[in-house]
Amino acid sequence: MMKKSYCLGIESTADDFSVGISNFDGKILANVISAYIPEKGGIHPREAARHHAEVADKVLEEAFKKAKIKLKEISIIAFSQGPGLGPCLRTGATVARALAAYLNVPLVGVNHCVAHIEIGKLTTGAADPLTLYVSGGNTIVSAFDSGRYRVFGETLDIALGNCLDVFAREAGLSQRAGLPFGAMVEKIAGKGKKLIPLPYTVKGMDVSLSGLLTATVNLLKQSTYSLEDLCYSLQETAFSMVTEITERALTHTEKKEVLLTGGVAANKRLQSMIKYIAEEHDANFCVAPTQFSIDNGAMIAWTGILAYRHGVTTPVEKSFVRLKWRLEEVAIPWIK
Amino acid sequence: MDKVKAPILIKKGAEANLYLTEWHGRKVVIKKRLAKKYRPSRLDNQIRTYRTTHEAQIMHEAKNAGVPTPTIFLVDMKKTTIIMEFIDGKQIKQLFSNISVDKRKKICFKIGELVGRLHEYGIIHGDLTTSNMILNSEGKIFFVDFGLCEKTKELEAKGVDLHLMKRALQSTHFDFADECFKAIIDGYTEVVGSDTAKNVLDKISEIKKRGRYVAERKEGN
């Protein structure tokens, strides 16, 4: 008897708790995301983890409703094993272990960064891209070579999304459901005209964003410039830096596709810059659709399938979360 | 810029285009930083002009530090263009995988010595990769691409410079990155002395820890 197989993926590295369901052909049947929005300040890991624990059953229920399948039709449980915030990761891992034990199906621990790249490839059709992955926690320029996703460029300190978020909070903006800080900064930046000189720090194929953030926040506090001009200048400077290192990595690796993903990928200005350099070097520009570029369970489910098909499973005793699991540490047996 | 005949594009880089041509009877490379239309033109002009002048000045100074670099013949600020000597040789990146372990170690040791000389002199290269080093037929290693360089003797800058070298080895020459970096540090230590070398190595691990998601106790693995 033919049995349909599905993988359920759980994502909980930071402020989002998400459940995705994918079949073995990469058809995404569900991708339900619940975001934790702090009342004040940044993500408090314990508070975010509490949110994840509270919404887990509802998110799971909704995912099954969307996918129109039953719990017992799931044949693999995948979860985001790292990198990320400890309490958040542990909450997702606990749900995953419980489900896998209950259903008596294999557990697959997935690297969050690998998953971002894989879902980006699946949803855009990119085969072997140079990826710029920019989010609240990561700023990475990566491409596949000899069994691994190699990291060619990255941030030396804070991530691009983090830089924009902290600035937005310092400016007194408040996050609302469906309108993240990055989108607010983008909207305000659209009204800015004056380019304020800010530190532009490219080091080899890496960038440093902490000095830029400090300088912009200091100017904000002096109230010499309008918020519009500050947002505009911050975006232009930071995006120019990451675009420059992406172009460097592109000429270095000579890949023929550029994939933009991660939460900041939704920014239209950044998209236009990356598109420009891709075209400049005859490479195809791809950007992951927003629901698959932000943190999502579908990417974990799909990567779980890729790994499982190549014999990768994670026994419970090895399913401890890995807070600092770097992208290039992961063997990628599914790419020849 | 007179007497430049039919330049041939030899590299369309991210930073600049490189053309090969003859100029006053010499074989030269023209490095032209073209406008980057993705960034605001004021910012772009600033970056290109700064990097062009800076690169030319420091490439010249590097010679005083005892580090071979192509001789600069002409700098055109308005056109953000440098005309420099053509170095007949091979990029270290290209020959690295086809040579013996011993030969590779010797080259790395030499690279380390050259980086040490730059740092002692107060020059930070800013983009130390094996693409930016050329081995000529006489076995001399030339450093090129000084566009991101800095003039400073700060420990932090030295640490970042070598951290980037290490990262470049790990992403491009992953099979022998560790042995290469070790030989580079040996050569570096030879020039700067073991006290300075130790301070720089400590700084490198501190810089690494500032990054995102770095396992602290994995240094050296």
Same domain as A177, residue A100: no
Best CA proximity match to A95, nearest among A109, A106, A83, A79? A79
Structure confidence at residue B218 (pLDDT) = 43
Contacts of A35 (CB under 8 A, 6+ apart): A15, A16, A177
Best CA proximity match to A327, nearest among A131, A93, A148, A133? A148
- And the tokens for A149? 């996703």
Same domain as A243, residue A146: yes
> Can you say how many angstroms the Cα of residue A303 is from the centroid of all Cα atoms in its chain?
14
Same domain as A309, residue A211: no
Catalytic residue among B2, B76, B127, B186: B127
Q: Is 60 exceeded by the pLDDT of residue A159? A: yes
Amino acid at B125: H
For an interface test with A, which of B17, B36, B38 has the most A Cβ atoms less than 10 Å from its Cβ? B38
Same domain as A286, residue A300: no
**Cβ A157–B210 below 8 Å, yes or no?**
yes
**For chain B, what are the domain ranges?**
4-85, 89-218
Rg (CA), chain A: 20
Contacts of A324 in chain B (CB under 8 A): 213-216
Q: Give the domain extent around A99.
A: 6-116+293-329
- The whole-angstrom distance between B206's CA and the closest CA on chain A is 11
Q: Which residue has the tokens 């000899």?
A: A146
Q: Is 80 exceeded by the pLDDT of residue A248? A: yes
**Cβ B128–A204 below 8 Å, yes or no?**
yes
CATH class label, B4-85: alpha beta
Structure confidence at residue B216 (pLDDT) = 53
> Can you say how many angstroms the Cα of residue A113 is from the centroid of all Cα atoms in its chain?
7
Contacts of B174 in chain A (CB under 8 A): 145-146, 148, 150
Structure confidence at residue B221 (pLDDT) = 31
Judge whether B127 counts as a catalytic residue.
yes
Q: Using the 8-state DSSP alphabet, how is residue B87 labeled?
A: P
Contacts of B216 in chain A (CB under 8 A): 324
Residue A224: band (very low, low, confident or very high) from pLDDT cuts 50, 70, 90: very high
Q: Which residue has the tokens 């369901």?
A: A21
Q: Are A24 and A310 in contact (CB under 8 A)?
A: no
Among A83, A145, A247, the residue with its CB nearest the CB of B213 is A83
- And the tokens for A293? 């570029």
Q: Is 80 exceeded by the pLDDT of residue B212? A: no
Interface membership of B36 toward A (CB under 8 Å): yes
Q: Is 70 exceeded by the pLDDT of residue B197? A: yes
Same domain as A215, residue A135: yes
Structure confidence at residue A289 (pLDDT) = 97
Interface membership of B8 toward A (CB under 8 Å): no
How many Å apart are CA B200 and CA B190, to the nearest integer?
13
Q: Is 50 exceeded by the pLDDT of residue B52? A: yes
Q: Is 60 exceeded by the pLDDT of residue A201? A: yes
Contacts of A236 in chain B (CB under 8 A): 39-40, 43
Same domain as A183, residue A264: yes
* Contact residues of A toward B, CB < 8 A: 82-83, 137-139, 145-146, 148, 150-152, 154-159, 195, 200, 202-206, 236-237, 239-240, 243-244, 247-248, 250-252, 272-273, 276-277, 281, 323-326, 328
Among A150, A156, A250, the residue with its CB nearest the CB of B171 is A150
Determine what percent of chain A is predicted with pLDDT higher than 70: 99
Determine what percent of chain A is predicted with pLDDT higher than 90: 95
Residue B195: band (very low, low, confident or very high) from pLDDT cuts 50, 70, 90: very high
Same domain as A286, residue A150: yes
**Cβ A155–B213 below 8 Å, yes or no?**
no
How many Å apart are CA A129 and CA A254, to the nearest integer?
10
Same domain as A182, residue A109: no
CATH class label, B89-218: mainly alpha
Average pLDDT of every residue of chain B? 92
Among B127, B170, B212, the residue with its CB nearest the CB of A138 is B212
A28-83 pLDDT, tens digit each: 999 999 999 998 888 999 999 999 999 999 999 999 999 999 999 999 999 999 99
Same domain as A299, residue A230: no
Q: What number of residues does chain B have? A: 221
Q: Are B52 and B97 in contact (CB under 8 A)?
A: no
Contacts of A155 in chain B (CB under 8 A): 211-212
Q: Are A6 and A66 in contact (CB under 8 A)?
A: no
By DSSP bridging, strand A148-154 and strand A202-203 are unpaired
Please tell me the total count of domains within chain A: 2
How many Å apart are CA A140 and CA A131, to the nearest integer?
8
Among A150, A237, A323, the residue with its CB nearest the CB of B174 is A150
- And the tokens for B137? 């037929």
* ipTM confidence: 0.89
Domain with residue A159: its CATH number is 3.30.420.40
Same domain as A61, residue A179: no
Other C-beta atoms lying within 10 Å of the C-beta of residue A73: 16
Q: Are A9 and A63 in contact (CB under 8 A)?
A: no
How many Å apart are CA B82 and CA B1, to the nearest integer?
10
Assigned domain for A1 exists: no
- For A139, the 3-state DSSP assignment is strand
How many Å apart are CA B37 and CA B31, to the nearest integer?
18
Other C-beta atoms lying within 10 Å of the C-beta of residue A228: 16
Contacts of A150 in chain B (CB under 8 A): 170-172, 174
